[in-house]
Amino acid sequence: MMDPNDTAQLLIQALPYIRRFTGKTVVVKVGGLPMTDPVRARSLAKDVLLLHSVGIRPVLVHGGGPQIDEQMRRAGKQPEFRDGLRVTDAETLDIVRMVLVGKINRELVSALNALEPVAVGVAGEDGRLLETQPLDPRLGFVGKVSEVRAGLLEALLDDGLVPIVSTVGAGKDGQPYNINADDAARAIAVAMGAEKIIYLTGVPGLLADPSDPTSLVQRLSPGEARRRIADSGVTGGMIPKLQACAEAVEGGVRSAHMIDGRDDHGILVELFTDSGIGTMVCEAGGA
């Protein structure tokens, strides 16, 4: 058990950060990997509820890559990716919608509402929250967000609720599209003028050497992030994450963070302590 004096020191350290972020929107993107563990899901729910309780306006955006992969293999389909993005034919799109909207979103809503009934699940295709355009014919039904109905999310926040968004969008004709959750979270954060966007990943952050967990890159500018992508220093699923971080900051979000979603209460450590964890992308002098 923590010494009471240590607890008091942590609360004192957190106070200026709580004051700074109260009333601000913080977008949290959670990938599928941390959500494969119910204990992690409950830890995440506690963190989000604490943010909500101190007056921060959290919006949770989720993907579900591992769960989609598993369901595809059960259906006899082999997952295929191009530059970190899932190739999505009509059958795969049905699986994506079933897993993201029907399963993971409901599980996250239930985890938070078990603590306090404040969570509301929203699919990106609901009310065309995430209006989408096709991204690349080679990817099939994969879209990029062209417009966010931020007012829908703002109304939920104003009503004291926590939106949990699954990342299936829709075109103007109603056609659903699979959206990369990293980019969807970026689009939401920019549209809402968020203070921060936090990506919960299955790794400590951006590693200079992917085989060396101690080679964490703690801070980057958007330009430096883009150079690492261009120089092939970043591969696989880290490409859309780092790209989304750079675009979020360039779009007006004060800072973007990639942290390990497997760590207990990583969100709170990142937001409310002097040390922080993971990789932060921000303009020079930002925080």
Average pLDDT, integer, range 160-164:
98
Say how far apart CA 69 and CA 231 lie, in whole Å: 29
- pLDDT confidence bin for 74, thresholds 50/70/90: very high
Parse the chain into domains and list their residue ranges.
24-202, 205-249
Angle among Cα 167, 44, 145 to the nearest 5 degrees reads 15
First to last CA, the chain: 32
Average pLDDT, integer, range 153-179:
97
- The structural architecture, per CATH, of the domain 24-202 is 3-Layer(aba) Sandwich (3.40)
Beta carbons within 8 Å of 30's beta carbon, 6+ residues apart:
44, 60, 61, 62, 63, 108, 200, 261
- pLDDT confidence bin for 208, thresholds 50/70/90: confident
Distances (CA, A) of 67 to 18, 59, 100, 205: 34, 22, 9, 22
More confident residue, 268 or 13: 268
